[in-house]
Amino acid sequence: MTKNWLITGASSGLGRGLTEQLLARGDGIVATLRKPRALDDLLAQYGDRLHVVECDLTSVDAISAAVAQAFAALSRIDIVVSNAGYGLFGAAEELSDAQIARQIATNLTGSIQLIRAVIPRLREQGGGRIVQVSSEGGRIGYPAFSVYQASKWGIEGFVEATAKEVGPFGIDFVIMEPGPTRTNFGTGLDRAVPMSAYDATPVGEIRRALDAGYFEFADAAKTVDAMITTIDSPSPPFRLALGKSAYESIRASLTRQLEILEAQKEIALSVMEDA
């Protein structure tokens, strides 16, 4: 059975991979992107099964217009994939106000407004699935990615709460948490001007590792396959870690958090009012 999808950030990376594989199997796609000609090759190949909509996620009006065009083009949309975003790299002190504002506007506020825009339409049609592409950085913290990870922690919190609000309407969510993946994420990083004060700190270590390509990457095509298999499932997990780094880092973080929480139990309960 074919499905209809709305995918943001479809011009490259995982968004492009999803679009290619879903079109190949016969599904219908509305793809949003900032570069309107980036999918011309797929348009030529798949014709009216692909609809391309230009959208700037930092504009609420643009998001509303894109969602309206998407539902007009396909009538019903089964899955919305909130994928658009980019990385901001630099120590918190190194980042400019403009860089921080753009990161939050795109990754966090833009994703929130997209989800808000599609919920009424999914509710009216009787349900649907929203997939939020986050990151292993939505659950852990790395030096030099503080604001990027703030945007991912933020959107995961928003999704977790919103999922409880709209579940009665047949709308569910899946959060994808990929680790380092062989896409163009690294080349698209917005980098702060480095300060020499951070050269001998963990920020400097991460910067040198990034420049040297010293990361263990997941395969992009395999990642897309796993995403589609999970999204197609009638009962997918709420969160899905993708890649060795994501699994191991998130597991280690959760284990540490639980150990710390258990050690606090006596203090935590001591502040309760007396019965």
Report the pLDDT averaged over residues 87-96.
95
- What is the SS3 assignment for 129? strand
Q: Which residues of 79-111 are buried (b: 16+ CB within 10 A; e: fewer)?
A: bbbbbbbbbbbbbeebbeeebbebbbbbbbbbb
Length of the chain, please? 275
User: Do residues 54 and 9 touch, judged by C-beta distance below 8 A?
Assistant: no
Report the pLDDT averaged over residues 98-120.
97
Instruction: Give residue-wise pLDDT tens across range 2-56.
Output: 999 999 998 888 999 999 999 999 999 999 998 878 899 999 999 889 999 999 9
Cα distance between residue 29 and residue 19, in whole Å: 7
What is the CB-side half-sphere exposure of residue 243 using CA atoms within 13 A? 22
**For the chain, percent of residues with pLDDT exceeding 70:** 97
User: Do residues 164 and 120 touch, judged by C-beta distance below 8 A?
Assistant: no
Cα distance between residue 139 and residue 273, in whole Å: 32
157 sits in which H/E element = helix 146-166
Cα distance between residue 93 and residue 82, in whole Å: 29
Catalytic residues: 134, 148, 152
The mean pLDDT of the chain is 93
User: Do residues 117 and 62 touch, judged by C-beta distance below 8 A?
Assistant: no
Cα distance between residue 142 and residue 116, in whole Å: 29
Q: How confident is the model at residue 201 (pLDDT cuts 50, 70, 90)?
A: very high
Cα distance between residue 23 and residue 5, in whole Å: 10
The packing angle between helices 110-125 and 60-74, to 10°, is: 30
Report the pLDDT averaged over residues 95-102.
97
- Side by side, which strands form the sheet with 50-54? 50-54, 28-33, 4-8, 79-82, 128-133, 171-178, 239-242
**pTM for the complete prediction?**
0.93
Domains and CATH numbers, the chain: 4-246 (3.40.50.720)
Record the tokens describing residue 156, joined without a space. Answer: 């995961």
Residue 146 Ramachandran class (φ > 0 left, ψ -120 to 50 alpha, else beta): alpha
Instruction: Give residue-wise pLDDT tens across range 204-255.
Output: 999 998 887 766 788 899 999 999 999 999 999 999 999 999 999 999 999 9
